[in-house]
Structure 1
Amino acid sequence: MPSRSPGSESRRTSYASSISRSRTLPAPGEVKVAVEFSPLNLHDLKVVRGELGRPPLPLVLGSEGVGRVVEAGPGVDTLAAGDLVVLPLLAGAWRERLLPADGLFRLPEGSVEQFSMLGINPPTAGLILSEYADLRPGGWIVQNAANSGVGRSLIALAKARGFRTINFVRDESVFAELTAAGADIVRLDGATAVEEVRTAIGDARVGLAVDSVGGDAPARLLDLLSEGGALVSYASATGQPMSVDALTLIGKRATVHGFFAGHFDYATKVLPVIREAAPLVASGALFVPLGAVFDLDDIHTAIEQVIRGGKTLLKVARS
C-alpha cells in the first residue's frame, strides 16, 4: 500500500492499478474474487468530490469489502474456490469481479456482512492503539464517537490487548450495548464528562486520546490525557476545526497526530490488524450495527442514507 498522502502519486497508482488489472483469468499468485458486499463510506464520497486528490479516470470506487474466491491462479495453494476473503484496501470493490494478488486469507465462519467491514475500521483502531503511545496492560484510552465502527473496533481490540477504554457517546441508549461489548466506562460527551471519569479512575494514567468529532470535543479528551500522552484524530464528524487549549497542550507535553489507514504499508501494518480482528468478528466480540443494505443499482439512495448517518453496505453480488 502507498505510504504517502491521499493525493500523492503512489495513491493514484494504487487506484489506477485496480483498473488495469481487470482481466478475465487470474495470473500466477492471483485469485479471481466475486465481490459480495462493500461498505459505502464517507471516504468514498470524498474521493468522488475530489476532496482527497484526483485519481485518474476511469475509476472503480469501493475502499473495502468482502468477496468469495471463484478461481485460484497458478501457485496459489492457500485459497480455494468458495473461500471468503477480505478485499485489499482501496482495491475498487464496487464491481462484480476483481483479481487481487496480495494479502488474502480465508476468513472463518461468520457474518459476511460483518466481515465486509474489516478493511478500514479495525485497522484504523488497531494502528492508533499501537503506533502513537506506549500503552501497557491495564492502561487507559479515551475516545469519543465510541458507537461508531472505529469506536467499536477500538473497544474490542483494546480489550483483546489488555487495555481499558473510556468511551464518550451522544446517546445514553447505547450505554448497555457498549458495556456488553467490552467498554469499561461509557459517559455522555458533555460538560461533566471529564469530572465524572476522573472520579471513576482517580489518578490513573490515560496515555492515548482518540478523536473523530472535531470542534470543541477534543478539548475534553485532552483534559483527560496524561502528561506525555498522544491525541490522535482520524475524522471530523462536525467538520469544524479542532479546538484545544494551547497551554494545556504545552503543559502536558502532549502530541497531536492525524491518522489515515492508507498512509501505512498494507502488508506489514494494515493486514496484521485485519487478521487480528477477524476472529473477534467471527465470535461476535466485534459487532457493528448496520443501518441499511442496498443493491449497487440503488447507489443514489445509499448515498442519501450515508449522509443521514448509519453504516451502509452495498450488495455487489447479483442474485
Structure 2
Amino acid sequence: MRVVEATGDGLAAVGPADRPEPPAPGRGEVKLQMLAMSVNPADLLLLEGRYGVKPEPPFIPGAEGVARVLEIGEGVTDLAVGDLAIPLPGPAWVERMTLPRAAVVPIPPDADLDQAAMLKANPATALAMLKDIVGLQPGDWVAQNAANSAVGVNVIRLARALGLKTINVVRRPGPEERLYALGADAVLVHDGEGLPPAAPGRAKLAFDAVGGWGTEALAKLCDEGAVIANYGLLSGEPCRMDPSHLVFRDITLKGFWLTKWFREQPKEKVAETYAYLVERLKTGEIGAPVAARYPLERAAEAVAHAARDARDGKVLLITSAHPEA
C-alpha cells in the first residue's frame, strides 16, 4: 500500500513509500479506501517538528480526508460497501485504513469530495471555537485574523448561521468581496503595522491564527472582558499583546487545539458536532475553496504549494481511487 512518509526534518523531507496493507476489518470495524486528504497548516508544523506532538520518524502525516467504505466487519449494520465516510483518527495520507465503526462519520453519497476531505479539522475548529469558548448570543461580534483561510471562511459562514456578526482581518487587499459574499459583516485590511482600521462593533470573542502583533491587533478590536483564542502559529512568532489589555480591560488570551478538544469532549458531543457539520455540508453552508490537487506520489509538491504565503485555497492530496485521478 502506498503512503506518504516524513522524517520531521522539514517540508521537503516527505515522499511516497510502501507500507503493509491494513488488516481486514474485524467485528465492529470497517476498512476504508481513502479518496482525498487535505494539507493543513498543522500538517506543515508536524513536518517541521514544530507541532504539539512529535512522532517517531519515519511517520505518516495527515489529519483528515474522505474515504469510501471498502469492507465491513461483523456487527456493522449502519454502513455498506461504497458508502462515503470521514475517518476521525489519522494518519490520513494513506491509500487505505481499518478503523472501529465508532471512529467513522458517514456522509451523504452525493457529498462534494473536496469539501468532505476538509470536513474534520477546519469546520470543526470553527464551530467548536464559536460554541465552546464563550457563551455567545445572536448579535454578538466575533473578530478573527487570517479570515480568508479555511478556518476563517468557515467561521464567517457558521457565525452567520448562528446569528453572530464577524470582523475579519486580512493582510492584503483582494479577498474582501469574496468574504462579504460569504456573509462577513466587516473586512479590515491590516498588515500588522500600526492601528487596525475602525470596526463597526466590539468583539466579545476573537480567533488568532497568526500570533506576533496579530494578537495585539485583535485585542484592539475586542470589547472589555473579551477572550482571544489563539489556534495557529502562522507568523512563527510568540503572541504579543500590550499588558494594558490584560490589566485594565480584562482581556483573556488562551489557546485552542482541536486535538485536545476531541480528548475532552464526550463522544456524544463529538457525534453531535459532526452531525451538525454534515447537515451544513449538504446545504452548502460550509466549505472552502481548493487551490490544487496532487497525487500521493507528488506529496512534496503538494506540501510546497500549501506552504506558499500567497495561496487562495486549500491543497489536497488524492489517491488513485479518486474519480479524477
Between the aligned partners of 1:255 and 1:271, the Cα distance in structure 2 is: 29
The alpha carbon displacement at 1:65 in A equals: 0.5
1:170, distance to aligned residue in structure 2 (A)? 2.4
The alignment's C-alpha RMSD in Å is 2.2
**What is the match of residue 139 of structure 2?**
138
Alignment of 1:87 onto 2:98: no
User: Does structure 1 residue 258 correspond to structure 2 residue 255?
Assistant: yes
Is 1:123 aligned to residue 124 of structure 2?
A: yes
Aligned runs of 1:36-185 on 2, under 5 Å?
A: 36-52=35-51, 53-56=53-56, 59-89=59-89, 91-101=90-100, 102-108=102-108, 109-185=110-186
SS in 1 for 2:305: helix
> Contact (CA 8 Å) 1:37, 1:317: kept in 2 or not?
no
Of all paired residues, the percent bearing the same amino acid is: 33
Work out which of the residue numbers 185, 198, 204 in structure 2 matches 1:207: 204
Q: Secondary structure at the match of 1:264?
A: helix
1:185: Cα distance to partner? 1.4
Rounded to whole Å, the distance in 2 between the matches of 1:117 and 1:86 is 9
3-state SS of paired residue (1:308): coil
Q: 1:317 aligns with which of 300, 312, 320?
A: 320
Q: What is the CA distance between 1:194 and its match in structure 2?
A: 4.5
Q: Cα distance 1:48–1:217, how it changes in 2: closer, same or farther (>3 A)?
A: closer
Matches within 5 A, 1:6-21: none
Rounded to whole Å, the distance in 2 between the matches of 1:114 and 1:193 is 36
Task: Supply the distance in 2 between the matched residues of 1:308 and 1:99 (Cα, whole angstroms).
Answer: 33
Map of 1:230 onto structure 2: 227
Distance, in Å, in 2 between the alignment partners of 1:137 and 1:216 is 29
Q: CA deviation at 1:233?
A: 0.6
Q: Does 1:196 align with 2:198?
A: yes
The Cα offsets for residues 187-243 of structure 1, whole Å up to 9 and x where unpaired, read as: 21256875521xx33xxx521011111221211211121122100111121112221
How far off its partner does 1:145 sit? 0.8
47-56 or 158-167, which moves further after superposition?
Answer: 47-56
Residues 231-310 of structure 1 aligned to structure 2 (within 5 Å): 231-265=228-262, 267-309=267-309, 310=311
Q: Which runs of 5+ in 1 are unaligned?
A: 1-19
Does the residue aligned with 1:265 lie in a helix, a strand or coil? helix
Shift of 1:66: 0.6
CA distance in 2, matches of 1:67, 1:173: 34
Structure 2: give runs of 5+ residues left out of the alignment. 1-18
The alpha carbon displacement at 1:288 in A equals 1.0
TM-score where L is the length of structure 2: 0.83
Partners of 2:243 and 2:268 in 1: CA distance: 35
Give the direction of change, closer, same or farther, for the CA distance of 1:192–1:163 in structure 2 (3 Å limit): farther
User: Take 2:49 and 2:197, find their aligned partners in 1: how far apart are those partners?
Assistant: 41
Distance, in Å, in 1 between the alignment partners of 2:283 and 2:144 is 24
Paired residue type of 2:38: P
More strand by percentage: 2
Q: SS of the residue aligned with 1:122?
A: helix
What is the TM-score of this pair, normalised by structure 1? 0.85
- Number of matched residues? 294
Matched AA of 1:179: Y
Q: Letter of the aligned partner of 1:80 in structure 2? A: A
1:181–1:193 Cα change, 3 Å = farther
Runs of 4+ in 1 over 4 A off after TM superposition: 190-195, 268-271
Hey, what does 2:13 align to over in structure 1? none
The structural deviation recorded for 1:258 is: 1.2
Look up the SS of the partner of 1:99 in the other structure: strand
Q: Quick check: 98-107 or 230-239, which moved more?
A: 98-107
Partner AA of 2:113 in structure 1 = V
How far off is 1:131 after superposition? 2.3
**8 Å contact kept, 1:22–1:99:** no
Alpha-carbon distance in 2 for matches of 1:119, 1:21: 26
Matched position secondary structure for 1:282: helix
Amino acid corresponding to residue 296 of structure 1 in structure 2: L
